[in-house]
Amino acid sequence: MAKKNFVLSGLMQSKVTWAVIAELLILMVCFMIRPDFFSISYQPSTGMLYGSLIDIINRSAEITIISMGMTLVIALGGTDLSVGALVAVAGAIALKFLRWDVLTYTTPGDYTVCPYILVLTIPLIVCALMGLFNGFLVAKGGIQPIIATLILMVCGRGVAQILTDGKQFTTGYSPFRIIGQGSFLYLPMPIIITIVVVIAVALFTRKTAFGAFVESVGVNPSASRLSGIKADKIILIVFLITGLLSGIAGLIYSSRIMSNDSNNAGLNFEMDAILAVVIGGTNMSGGKFSLAGTVVGSLIIRTIVTFVYYFGIVAEATMAFKALIIAVVIILQSEPVRKYFAKRSRVREAVLISGGER
């Protein structure tokens, strides 16, 4: 009995538990409003599974991918504000390579001007380099991550606009369409990419010592330097990963709309990603991180949006509901509230144990 209670109180104190409970509650409410919420159907014409759950996971792909990197940045005790701008940059470069010059190739169609391999790799390389630039400012310049990444956040969209001369290109190139709209194993492609990214990051951080290094640098950079961890190198790698993942998210985003939209691509993605990480139970002051929690956090954000659509409320107003639900989750996770719960369950345990002894 007492042991069960310890497990329970441990779970109650874990932030991830709260995130999972919140997600389940929102899903329950969705199910009560729309009983067909969990139904999944197969569409033979596209070879894809359809349903609200699939849609939630599909639409949360970009944020989930970015927030994998963001989790590591936050575990280091920093934040990366530039990810949204990098999404725009990746889209702009990809579309620039697909169309090159709208004056020579006036109509969008099923063609690419530059080799497709460049369309896929150059945006990723540029985004990774931009991430490296952030990492360089933080690791070598000793600048606070939030300001260091503010630079690229401010001018990233400018770079994206200038790359495409402030124009919006569209394309019809079918291999490019596959990234955002194709399917594999009955699942939409973005879900597959997300799964691959999540597993890759999880393996990289948990099967090597890298994750432990990140946590130790996040808790105390100077102590970890003294114990022989190259903090600079860890920071550089983490920002590089985040840049690269933003690039992947940028390709998915622009493939969904088959166009570059430097004004709106990735708008507020940095905010959503940071929220996903925090809801998922990673502390903003750095240290321990939870990739699984982050995935749940990202799903919560997307589920709220879907949930609000079901009420027939205008799309832009979702933000207000998002704010309310997130406020509840964050307040429940906050230190004083968790301490209060922990104290209550400890009192109950004490009563139980003392009662047992008598």
Partner 1 sequence: MKSHMKKQSFITRITNPKYIMVYATIGIFFVIYGFGAFLYGDKGFTTIRTFVNLFIDNAYFGISAVGMTMVLITGGIDLSVGAVASLTGMFIAYGTSVLNLHPLVCIFAALVMGVGLGLLMGCVIHYLNVPPFITTLTGMFFARGVCSLISRESIDIKHPFIDSLASWKIYLMKYSEGSWVKIKPIAFINFNVILFIIMIIIGTYILQKTRFGRNIYAIGGNEQSASLMGLPVGRTKVLVYGFNGLCSVLAGISYALYVKSGWNLSLQGGELEVITCAVIGGTLLTGGVGYMIGTLFGVLLKSVIPALITFNGNLLSWWGKIATGLLLLLFICIQRFVVTSSSKRK
Contact positions vs partner 1 (CB under 8 A):
79, 81, 137, 141-144, 146-148, 150-159, 161-162, 165-166, 267, 271, 274-275, 278, 284-285, 313-314, 316-324, 326-327, 330-331, 334-337
The two tokens of residue 76 are: 């280091």
* DSSP character string of 154-187: HHHHHHHHHHTTT---B---HHHHHHHH-EETTE
Cα 281 to its chain centre, rounded Å, is: 14
Looking at the Cβ atoms of 185 and 319, the one nearer to partner 1 is 319
Looking at the Cβ atoms of 271 and 342, the one nearer to partner 1 is 271
Closest distance between partner 1 and the C-beta of residue 149, in Å? 11
Looking at the Cβ atoms of 28 and 155, the one nearer to partner 1 is 155
Distance of alpha carbon 116 from alpha carbon 111, whole angstroms: 10
Closest distance between partner 1 and the C-beta of residue 197, in Å? 24
Looking at the Cβ atoms of 14 and 144, the one nearer to partner 1 is 144
Closest distance between partner 1 and the C-beta of residue 72, in Å? 17
Residues contacting residue 227 through CB under 8 Å, at least 6 positions apart:
216
Q: What are residue 51's DSSP bridge partners?
A: 40
16 neighbors 281 (Cβ within 8 angstroms) = yes
Closest distance between partner 1 and the C-beta of residue 44, in Å? 38
Looking at the Cβ atoms of 110 and 165, the one nearer to partner 1 is 165
Closest distance between partner 1 and the C-beta of residue 336, in Å? 6
Please give the C-alpha separations between residue 244 and each of 15, 159, 346, in angstroms, as whole numbers. Answer: 28, 17, 45
194 neighbors 201 (Cβ within 8 angstroms) = no
